[in-house]
Amino acid sequence: MSERTEISTSDAPQNDNPYSQGRRVGDHLYVSGFGPVDPESGEELEGDIEAQTTRVLENVRGVVEEAGGSMDDVVKVTVYLTDLEAYDRMNEAYAAAFSEPLPTRVCVEVSRLPGDVVVEMDAIAYLG
């Protein structure tokens, strides 16, 4: 059985909910969903979808880097948006976080996210 390690970093939001920021299982890293929350203040970032998407991906990056990887190691992302009208604008900010080959992805519209944020993402990275 592969070793399972909890990944925790101050470069992503902390919380008191019952889940890990990330779990490494062998060469795979599973990153919990993050909204646009500043890890230092714990406050939700206000602003447009581009700024919020950038903050979300910085949170994901913090966990991936804590596990010894980089955004180039991300192989799968799930994007949750409360309004698909923001899809194209989210994509502009999203594309800036990754290089080729891009991770696989699914994007879904949801009725609501914790804290009433407008975007959240989780990710899987391969660190082999």
Over the stretch 79-124, which tens digit does the pLDDT of each residue have? 999 999 999 999 999 999 999 999 999 999 999 999 889 999 999 9
| CATH number of the domain located at residue range(s) 4-126 in this protein | 3.30.1330.40
Query: What is the reported pLDDT for 116?
Result: 83
Q: Tokens in use for 124?
A: 């899987």
Task: Report the predicted TM-score, pTM, of the whole model to 2 decimal places.
Answer: 0.96
Count the alpha carbons within 13 Å of 96 in the hemisphere toward its beta carbon.
Answer: 12
Q: What are phi and psi for residue 42, nearest 5 degrees?
A: 75, 5
Q: Which pLDDT score is estimated for 1?
A: 64
The neighbouring-strand residues paired with 37 are 44
Question: Using an 8 Å Cβ cutoff, are 42 and 59 in contact?
Answer: no
Residue 43: the pLDDT is 94
Strand, coil or helix: 104: strand
Mean pLDDT, range 69-86, rounded to an integer: 98
Residue 20 burial by CB count (10 A; 0-12/13-18/19+): exposed, middle or buried? middle
19-63 pLDDT, tens digit each: 999 999 999 999 999 999 999 999 999 889 999 999 999 999 999
pLDDT given for residue 16 in this prediction: 84
Active-site positions?
107
Q: How far apart are CA 4 and CA 85, in angstroms?
A: 39
**Residues in the chain, how many?**
128
